Chains A and B, each alone.
Chain A
Amino acid sequence: MTLFAFALLFAATVAAYMLNRAAAASLARRGERLHSLATFHGGFAALVVLLPVFLVILLWLLFQGPVISALVMGGLPEGVLDGLGKGEVSLIAAEIQSIAAGQVFGTPEPWKLEAAERLVRLRATSGTLLVVTVAALSVVLLFLARRTVAPEFRARHGVERMVLGILVFCSTVAIFTTVGIVLSLIYESWQFFRLVPITEFLFGTNWEPQIPIRADQIAGAGAFGWLPVILGTVVITVIALAVSVPIGLFSAIYLNEFASRRMRAVVKPVLEILAGVPTVVYGFFAVLTVAPALRAAGAEFGIPISPNTALAAGSVMAIMLIPFISSFTDDALAAVPRALRDGSLALGATRGETMLKVLFPAAIPGIVGGILLAVSRAIGETMIVVMAAGLIATMTINPLDSVTTVTVQIVTLLIGDTSFDNPKTLAAFALGMMLFIVTLGINILALRIVRKYRELYD
């Protein structure tokens, strides 16, 4: 039925275009001076039909599910839902849905079968109603649009305004989504800070997000000091940068100035492929290869190393960051005008001196910007650290210890029990909020540096 509604809409749009174009063209043939070309009259009519009807279909599809489900649940026989919690009610709703889809497990109660039947019937009605609405609305709009055709009607301006509207809408979708995400983050964090004082969260050095699940359970009250967690993030980020920045820089310098054309043609795409490896694959590498190798190396020297270490996670994250830093550095170096390079070479400088004394200093702002963006990627990286860094929050800067990071904690807090009314789950949002603030700050700084640098040479 939905498909049919879309087909109808398409047909109406095409019809509107044809009708108005033909009408405008016949006006023109009769010697009228049209303000807009006939195609604009057609396009105007098409948009007048397309946009509102499309919006109606979208809204219909969005609300039909919840509305039908509310109707079905409301029509259940008296008493069957009495005394059930929210979760159980939604389980029943899901069961009815699956019966309606033809997947019957065991022998459901007759009232469930009945509800499923009603669900199917309601859906069919809704589909028919949708088609009827679309048809009626299209006809009305077609008619209205047809009446606009006149020599002095500014169809071209109308089309441009509507297209502009579409463009504005598309460009703001991302912004509004981000705002929505931030608002929900803020709301949940606020819920958290009602349960746990913000000072305890910001300055506490103890992170034990366990809470009793049942009232009679004996467990600690839970501690929510984020310092050990953010310290873990910092340690891993520092390790990752300590490894990736020199390697990334040197590889970019080599590629940009010293590599032969053939070498460059091989190495650059390979680096770019490295940037496309899913981070979970890096995680495997950390767990299966790097961590055991570290342990073996530690055993050689008689140092016991735990299977999860900041070093393993950090160094594998470094591999992930290398192509990032290298491509940023390469771009920054390539943006230095060739004239500077030639000027230095013409003074009798070697290529190495030219790189060290002219190209590299001139590219530093761009490189710093790239490194800062890499930092915010390292801070936000989840998969590698989940797999390789560990879960226990310890206040340590020893890279051979197991540490945990903000992202890892968010993941573990949200696994399993997901009712959003206890500090354990809500803590994830507070952590997310802090992470967001930190990376936002770093990104803004990075973009400012990069932009300032661009102004220098344009």
Chain B
Amino acid sequence: MEDLRLTERLVGTDEVKIQARGVNVYYGESHAIKDVDVDILDKTVTAFIGPSGCGKSTFLRCLNRMNDTIDNCRVTGSIRLDGQDIYDRSVDPVQLRAQVGMVFQKPNPFPKSIYDNVAYGPRIHGLARSKADLDEIVEKSLRRAALWNEAKDRLDQPGTGLSGGQQQRLCIARAIATSPEVLLMDEPCSALDPIATAQVEELIDELRANFSVVIVTHSMQQAARVSQRTAFFHLGNLVEYGETGQVFTNPRDPRTESYITGRIG
């Protein structure tokens, strides 16, 4: 039984996609992330769990340098994407964000048509050579986000007119349209009902074939369902990081165990 679970959870590759070493994040004086080391694998879903305020979102935002847009935020340490330090002076954060896409907690489609929402990234980065090219990218992205069937007849209608779950899948389609290598998701299901949540979870599992996915989640069931690796954060520290089955069934750190059994959180 135990063996069966383990084989099921085998990750796609053991190749490291993102390597973080000694990462510290400060908001002004407050120390939000303390000396975090983590290796995020390619073609794997990695879940960040932990009580709220422990720094999951903050660390996630380090991976695509979205923290740069926050005024008083300072990041130290090294984060390498395919061996290249993303905080190096030569790296353009704008280019980086095309490689490392992000989906937010609250669906945030632009007040534009569904088509224009998905085409936004490809247009900015000049990924399509022609209108037909762009149409293809839009269709492919919507199909991958499991939204094509619902949206194909209303591509010119505003994305804000969709339901919450559809909006979130539109945001996922929008993020994968720039063909990123890593997809960051910050509590992507917290604003969704159970059915929409199930759809998005299924989607995440499919996305694993092409991307490395990092998902922040509040729900441990969700982490257990969709991820192969789990990182547990507590008060800005990375307490435990390992194979999901192991973290949930046989945690090494007492703090992880108390959190999983509901004693802290």
Contact = CB atoms under 8 A, between A and B. Distances in A.
Interface string B171-194: 100110010000000000000000
A350 B102 CA distance: 15
Contact of A346 (B66, B71, B109): B66
A261 B108 contact: no
Given A346-B102, A347-B98, A347-B178, A339 B69 contact: no
A200 interface: no
Contact of A347 (B71, B106, B111, B124): B124
Given A261-B71, A339-B108, A344 B120 contact: yes
Given A261-B71, A339-B104, A357-B120, A346 B64 contact: yes
B250 interface: no
Contact of B94 (A261, A339, A343, A350): A350
A340 B108 contact: yes
A282 to B, nearest CB: 36
Nearest to B97: A348
> Secondary structure of the A side of the interface?
helix
A348 B178 contact: yes
Nearest to B116: A357
Interface residues of B, number: 26
B249 interface: no
Given A261-B71, A342-B66, A456-B111, A347 B104 contact: no
A353 interface: yes
Contact of B95 (A346, A348, A362): A348
B152 interface: no
Which of B94, B98, B104 has the most C-beta atoms of chain A within 10 angstroms of its own C-beta?
B94
Interface string A38-52: 000000000000000
Interface residues of A, number: 19
Interface in B94-131: 94-98, 101-102, 104, 106, 108-112, 120-121, 124-125
A349 B66 CA distance: 12
A346 B174 CA distance: 11
Nearest to B174: A347
A351 to B, nearest CB: 9
A348 B124 CA distance: 8
A339 B175 CA distance: 14
Contacts of B108: 337, 339-340, 342-343
Contacts of A345: 66, 69, 97
A435 to B, nearest CB: 36
Contact of A362 (B111, B125, B171): B111
B20 to A, nearest CB: 19
A165 interface: no
B66 A347 contact: no
B33 to A, nearest CB: 19
B121 A347 contact: yes
Given A337-B108, A345-B69, A349-B120, 20 more contacts: A339-B106, A342-B66, A343-B109, A343-B110, A343-B171, A345-B97, A346-B66, A346-B104, A347-B97, A347-B101, A347-B175, A348-B94, A348-B95, A348-B96, A348-B97, A348-B178, A349-B121, A357-B120, A362-B111, A456-B111
Interface of A: 261, 337, 339-340, 342-350, 353, 357-358, 361-362, 456
Interface of B: 64, 66, 69, 71, 94-98, 101-102, 104, 106, 108-112, 120-121, 124-125, 171, 174-175, 178
User: Top 5 closest A-B pairs, CB basis?
Assistant: A348-B98, A339-B108, A346-B102, A348-B97, A347-B121
